[in-house]
Structure 1
């Protein structure tokens, strides 16, 4: 005789899932998206569920430790078990692999060359380079140091790292380059504009005729993890193509950042 219990163990049951678990996750997602504790009414509105239905889930989550209810005002917030779960997930996360997967996705999506840089003692360091359908002839390799000035990569780091970190690296780069005149550091207004735009586009910065679009990747609450960059011949980044590809670079950077635990304000 076929019973409901038997169905639980079948592949068909597994494919349909458990609706109550999915509803519960939607409620927890509301707390993840919120910047503060929430009332029953707020959770109800955020999830588009009846307050009576939401209340039953909230009570179960409080008992399990996923949520807590503040005694003074009755608001609900993420609890100790939710924090432990989040810390465990972040501890098992391979940030470099996540960022690399995003980089490869960007290459496959656009067909252009992409690279990833991280911050080193002397400034941005190239850690990954993936050629597109039209390989670029460049004098760059894994481990190469990227100039902070005049490059989209460098300006992205300047915009998202404190000057206490970037200024010594900039001084070291200028010393090694033996520049007779000190290059101008971008103004605060320029750096703020870069932060607001979420990406930066430069023409022929490192290679004549090759343009670049760079975007920041964040890890955790607000730490800059890396910069992903798309490089292509100038003819490929003109007019509407530039706008479309720039949006794709920014979208991948946001996607990777979200996977690494970053939440935009």
Structure 2
């Protein structure tokens, strides 16, 4: 399924694995039961399940080099106000494993986790060619050059010459700038990141529009990158409110098992999957004793399973056990066909039906909280909102949810007093005081409302949806008349909102913080 990259039929899996269809079906039954595979209800084809994503993210979060680089990337992106991404080299080529959007100078580039890049044409790919001595990186570059030669042989000598010059410059300066390779007018600034052994671990790439990157600013950015030690392990961790607080601090969660999966599976597969689940739950490298206790089997039996998982690349071992590189590959393969916005949009009518109120979906746009979807119910409310409406950050429940859970640097401009009249007249809601106490309360409750004086007819409750990086993906808001929608701290509707947005964040890949397993 990883190699195919698209949903596949049972017969295709049988032919690819050399197993009989009956054998493959037995394995798939167990994979579906533990959430590692899913089956399309209309086509009956199989694809990776959502737990593949959780394994990949756990691998990403528990490898120190990746975790430290992710922290540095966020911090540096904020300082430079540039979009940034972290990429690693996978069997599919350079692949994004972390993406951070610029705070103010946002650019319209469709890059997300799992996006793959050309090895030859992009700054990101060329940095791998410059510093990655593996046969995989070299072979990928040669294959791309061969493919271009087949399409237009007269351009290859010039391309090879330019490439040699670019790689030599990259090795000397450790910064490589390419304009227009990804999208016309978008500049890439790539730099290598090395692990503790001095081997290339990843490439950090910063993206900006050419209109914002004149020669002086480019030189300043390159100096800042080269002056900063990207291999440091003690980087400053920015004080940003990533993650939804206490409502998400839950106990041992089951895998995303399909409840309708019946039939005989393979018990050993399901036991091995529970061991993999323990890594997700712990969120850190673990000992044999911890893993065995979490699954409820003997250490000897756990060791036998771990030997097989190590052979598959799903687990590695040093002083502790941790998820291996193939776990990352599973997560990235899942992401290539994953559309989080489609998941959210499919969920909105179900929430509206369950809660009985109008539901809005908002994202953070260029002018702040922007409504992109309105789902109404039979219990209509009179409101000054439509798709495209922009909400006040401090004067609406929606805006306050963004302000409480997003980094302050991204929302502070819209919270300041004295905003231009033209701007405030176009926003829904009247700006109000919003300080640390209000923010802390919203984070503690998991939802936001507005002061009583601002809601003469309607009440509103807003809660964030978090993505797989722990950042705010969108905010969901329910609106109802004051008679039918309570906004008190113990509001039943608020409890449902928190429950539903929590479940949806989980489906999008958000991994909640957990306490260690006792013993």
Instruction: Give the TM-score, by structure 1 length.
Output: 0.86
1:249 aligns with 2:484: no
Quote the residue 2:481 is aligned against.
233
CA distance in 2, matches of 1:240, 1:199: 11
Q: Say which is worse superposed, 98-107 or 150-159, in terms of deviation.
A: 98-107
Quote the residue 2:277 is aligned against.
29
CA contact (8 A) 2:468 2:508 kept: yes
1:18 aligns with 2:266: yes
Distance 1:130 1:81, change over 3 A: same
- Of the three residues 72, 75, 80, the one matched with 2:325 is 80
- Of the three residues 191, 194, 211, the one matched with 2:439 is 191
Q: Say which is worse superposed, 125-134 or 206-215, in terms of deviation.
A: 206-215
Which aligned pairs between 1:86-235 and structure 2 lie closer than 5 A? 86-171=331-416, 174-175=419-420, 176-177=423-424, 183-202=431-450, 208-235=456-483
Report the RMSD for the aligned CA atoms in angstroms: 2.8
CA contact (8 A) 2:486 2:493 kept: no
CA contact (8 A) 1:199 1:246 kept: yes
Instruction: Tell me the number of residue pairs that the alignment of Structure 1 and Structure 2 aligns.
Output: 255
Distance 1:10 1:262, change over 3 A: closer
CA distance in 1, matches of 2:339, 2:304: 36
Quote the residue 1:50 is aligned against.
298
Unaligned runs of 5+ in 2: 1-19, 30-262, 514-519
CA distance in 2, matches of 1:39, 1:260: 29
Structure with more of its chain in helix, by fraction: 1
CA contact (8 A) 2:469 2:510 kept: yes
CA distance in 1, matches of 2:357, 2:470: 29
Residue 172 of structure 1: CA displacement?
A: 9.8
CA distance in 1, matches of 2:310, 2:271: 16
Quote the residue 2:311 is aligned against.
63
Distance 1:173 1:133, change over 3 A: farther
CA distance in 2, matches of 1:163, 1:9: 51
CA contact (8 A) 1:123 1:170 kept: no
Instruction: Give the TM-score, by structure 2 length.
Output: 0.46
Unaligned runs of 5+ in 1: none
Residue 91 of structure 1: CA displacement?
A: 3.3
Distance 1:144 1:178, change over 3 A: closer
Distance 1:10 1:227, change over 3 A: closer
Residue 243 of structure 1: CA displacement?
A: 2.2
Distance 1:255 1:24, change over 3 A: same
Distance 1:21 1:32, change over 3 A: same
CA contact (8 A) 2:458 2:479 kept: yes
Residue 209 of structure 1: CA displacement?
A: 1.5
Distance 1:137 1:204, change over 3 A: farther
CA distance in 2, matches of 1:211, 1:6: 56
Distance 1:174 1:22, change over 3 A: same
Residue 221 of structure 1: CA displacement?
A: 2.6
